[in-house]
Amino acid sequence: MIWLKHRRFGPSLILAVLVLALAETGFSQAPPAIQIFMPGGTLPSRPIRFTLTRDDGRIEIVFTDIKGKFQVTGDLIRDADYIVTVETDGATYDTTVARFRILRSTPVYTPVFLRPFTGKSKTAPGVVSAADAGVHKDAIAAYEAGIKALADGQIETAITQLKRAIKRSPRYLRALNDLGVLYLQLNQLAEATELFAQAVKVDEKFYLAHLNLGVVLQRQGQHKEAVQILAPLYEKDRSMKGLALSYADALSGVADLTKAEQVLRGVLNEPVTDNSNQVDLHFKLGVILNRQDRFDEAAVELKKAVTINDTAANAHLLLGATLLQLNRLEESEKSLLRSYELAGAGAGNAQMFLGQLYLMQQKQAAALRAFEQYLKDVPGATNAIQIKAEIDKLKAATKN
């Protein structure tokens, strides 16, 4: 493995870290919690439906328990900014938006106080009410039963009830979309695709279903189809939360990197009214530039990402790898160490790059420690045999 000492990793090896760089960071403390309060400060008496948007463009429709509490768990957790959007119920409270940030090892409790209803509809375009005209009362009852079951963790019951609501009112947009979201969360992608497609047929202006359909197609690797869904939506409403990131991902999937770059730069060139997704816009632009071997430009975008949010471990990791490609070793080391400080084993590939960096600096002992740590952090690494061979060589060299 002599090549490690004499040349830098190529672009393909830098991009190989992206899967791990995008991996979610684990949290050891109690899960972050959101508590929704009714106008006047009382607790709800039923589950509250809301949209949770993460700054990487991920959008989830979720539900609190019957007392308005929701815990952020699983792969929803990462160092990021979040937006909670509770749409008006048309009677008790107006549409309410709240923001919070999750930081590693920092307990988060976010109270959301719903704004009193003013008598004026605040429903955003493309958002429907459970009481829409044409929805049978039995369908509404089944929908509400499904939402309650979901809040209680009774997934199968929730699915059964939501299916019942759709059977009674096949054009029930909220039930179609919410059951699709549930299937998406369960990774039942074919079922989710069918429901989102049905919702789009019912109402072509229900843009949230268009976005969800594009996201699920992208997740299935159907990049071309995702582009076909998201492109017209992007032309109609470029301001839709999470759309630009999802569209750029789909374009990258079909290797239309020029258009993906245009989409991201277009958003970044607009006046910043919401800083929550700026980190991921710069990060994904850095990824695209790396794929085109435009390392200097990629480094600029990735530096912007970590300047906005110094706790973005994935951005530090890719920045370190990019700077290594540019032979800017001191800067690279700083970024790689910061990534590992933030995410630990979750950024295990940082140790692989540090090992390469220390070999280039002829620091054999440091390279040995980095490679050994890499194998501890990433025991299933595809290059484990090569790294072990290099470790053996370094051990032999340090003994002499």
Q: What pLDDT does 5 receive?
A: 36
- The CA distance from 288 to 291, in Å, is 5
Query: Which has the closest alpha carbon to 167: 144, 192, 146, 138?
Result: 138
Residue keyed to tokens 């990462």: 78
Does 344 fall in a domain? no
Give all strands of the β-sheet with 49-54 in edge-to-edge order: 59-63, 49-54, 80-86, 96-102
Cross-strand bridge partners of residue 83:
53, 99
Q: What pLDDT does 57 receive?
A: 66
Residue keyed to tokens 């119920």: 89
**Average pLDDT by stretches of 10, the chain with 400 residues:** 39 48 42 83 82 78 83 78 84 85 69 80 47 77 86 84 95 90 85 94 88 90 94 87 87 95 92 73 93 95 92 90 95 95 87 94 94 92 89 85
Burial 50-79 (b: 16+ CB within 10 A, else e): bbbbbbbbbbebbbbbeebbbebeeebbbb
Please, what is the angle between helix 173-185 and helix 155-168, to 10°? 150
Q: What pLDDT does 400 receive?
A: 64
What are residue 329's phi and psi, to 5 degrees? Answer: -70, -40
Does 386 fall in a domain? no
Residue keyed to tokens 């039923």: 46
| 3 state DSSP class of 50 | strand
CB 347 within 8 A of CB 30: no
Does 338 fall in a domain? no
Q: Is the pTM of this model over 0.85?
A: no
CB 24 within 8 A of CB 104: no
Q: How many domains does the chain have?
A: 1
Q: What pLDDT does 275 receive?
A: 64
Query: Which has the closest alpha carbon to 305: 324, 329, 286?
Result: 286
Query: Which has the closest alpha carbon to 111: 52, 38, 51?
Result: 38
Q: Give the CA distances from residue 83 to residues 45, 57, 96, 100, 102, in Å, rounded to whole numbers and listed in that order.
A: 23, 11, 10, 7, 11
Assigned token pair, 113: 């106080």
Assigned token pair, 400: 């002499």
Cross-strand bridge partners of residue 80:
102
| 3 state DSSP class of 292 | coil
Cross-strand bridge partners of residue 340:
none
Q: What pLDDT does 120 receive?
A: 54
- The CA distance from 217 to 242, in Å, is 15
Q: Which domain holds residue 92?
A: 31-124
Q: What pLDDT does 122 receive?
A: 41
Q: Amino acid letter at 127? A: V
First and final C-alpha spacing in the chain: 19
Does 42 fall in a domain? yes
User: CATH no. for residue 83?
Assistant: 2.60.40.1120
Assigned token pair, 324: 């290594």
Assigned token pair, 65: 């328990």
Does 372 fall in a domain? no
Does 315 fall in a domain? no
Does 103 fall in a domain? yes
The continuous run of DSSP H or E covering 53 comes out as strand 49-54
Q: What pLDDT does 149 receive?
A: 82
Does 199 fall in a domain? no
| 3 state DSSP class of 25 | coil
Neighbours of 303 (CB within 10 A): 18
